[in-house]
Amino acid sequence: MAINNIPELLCPAGDLVRLKTAVDYGADAVYLAGEEFGMRTAASNFGEEDLQQGVAYAHAHGVKVHVACNTIPHNEELPRLPAFLQMLDRLGVDAIIAADLGTVEAVKTYAPRCDLHISVQAGICNYAAANAFFRLGAKRIVLARELSLAEIAEIRAKTPKELELEVFAHGAMCVSYSARCLLSSYMTGRDANRGDCAQPCRWSYSLMEETRPGRYFDITETEKGTYILNANDLCMAAHLDKLAACGVNSLKIEGRAKSQYYVAVTANAYRGALDSLRDNQPWHLPDWAAEELNKISHRPYSTGFYFGDPQHAQTYESAGYMRDYAVAATVDGYENGCIVATLKNKFSRGQLLDCLEPKCQPFLLRAEQLFDQDDRPIDVAPRPMMTVKIPFSRPIPPGAMLRMKQ
């Protein structure tokens, strides 16, 4: 029996380049932020001109644009909010994501043509809160990350079908409650609830006894101290059928501060996985999609709270990432039987490359021959941003990525 409810794939866009990548690699919708009021100051974010271009590009490909306006603003920011919302409304943004009740009211007043989505920052954990936001005009709610599949299913059963449910499916987690955290503000003065988190939950900690100042004791057996607040990354790719069965409408990939490569891989893998849900049951995650999600920079994966109390949810030895693959080159086109690409990392003739094409399963190719931009044979491509040419039997579309294992 096939699954009829295929959730939307919602991908991050930290800037215009990553927006286009998300669209090309299979997103149904993208989410981003302007230069204010968004929860990721580390991302490049969008000025008005880039946002206009991004909305035009996404809409031309049938992809929606959601703008995060989900900080908890302070008084001095509020006078700038109406003009910002009016700009989003004028540019044709599909939805605005808000958490603060004052911002919610402002969205309805100054951006009436945009759908209202309620951010995970609101901490919606039950159907009463969901229904309350629906009565306030919400088209969609982003459910708290602390919910189990059973709790989500109950919320779906006890809310109007017109109210869309969005959940996180993949990406970084932090020690917080639905992304609300005061640790960064307390330790560094950088307010996580205004998009400026210093990520102190990723730092290494030791124990110091009160009467022995300056003497630090490891909390674990390692020599590095312990990363007692360090959460593993979320990955629900193998359980998309269960999320769909709960009745969720949208699956969100975290990562507006992540690289273009991360956006391409996650969008492509989850696009392929979601499309495979249409196949006959029992469903399982395609092997290639599972392999892809291990080719990006990530911490150990967990399934968060979806199956009750988190299992394997933290790593205490390190906050580092697993990085097994690097982008060798990005494809610009195809000429005279050769892939034409821009070099990102040095590689040599004979290198086995892993090709990531938009909306396709990846495949391997070996650079048996290598040429520079003047068609001269070379043994090594040494300089980033140089043009390289690789003979190949068929065209590879612009935007594809050639990877190599490190």
Nearest to 12, CA basis, from 269, 232, 258: 258
Q: What is the pLDDT of residue 282?
A: 87
Could you give the CA distance from residue 304 to residue 248 in angstroms, rounded to a whole number? Answer: 17
Size of the chain, expressed as the number of residues it contains: 406
Q: What is the pLDDT of residue 223?
A: 56
Q: What is the pLDDT of residue 1?
A: 47
Could you give the CA distance from residue 347 to residue 342 in angstroms, rounded to a whole number? Answer: 12
Q: What is the pLDDT of residue 11?
A: 98
CA–CA distances in Å: residue 193 to residues 31, 38, 138, 230, 288: 18, 9, 21, 19, 37
Q: What is the pLDDT of residue 221?
A: 47
CA–CA distances in Å: residue 47 to residues 29, 54, 337, 341, 376: 19, 10, 40, 29, 42
Q: What is the pLDDT of residue 113?
A: 98
Q: What is the pLDDT of residue 187?
A: 72
Could you give the CA distance from residue 319 to residue 232 in angstroms, rounded to a whole number? Answer: 9
Q: Can you give the pTM of this predicted structure?
A: 0.87
Q: What is the pLDDT of residue 172?
A: 75
Q: What is the pLDDT along the chain (406 residues), one digit of tens a residue?
A: 456 789 999 999 999 999 999 999 999 999 999 988 886 665 578 999 999 999 999 999 999 999 999 988 999 999 999 999 999 999 999 999 999 999 999 999 999 999 999 999 999 999 999 999 999 999 999 999 999 999 999 999 999 999 999 999 998 777 666 676 667 776 787 876 666 777 776 677 666 777 777 776 655 545 555 666 677 888 999 999 999 999 999 999 999 989 999 999 999 999 999 999 987 678 999 999 999 999 998 878 889 889 987 766 666 556 566 678 999 999 999 999 999 999 999 999 999 999 999 999 999 999 999 999 999 999 999 999 999 999 999 999 999 999 999 8
**Cis peptide leading into residue 282 (ω within 30°):** yes
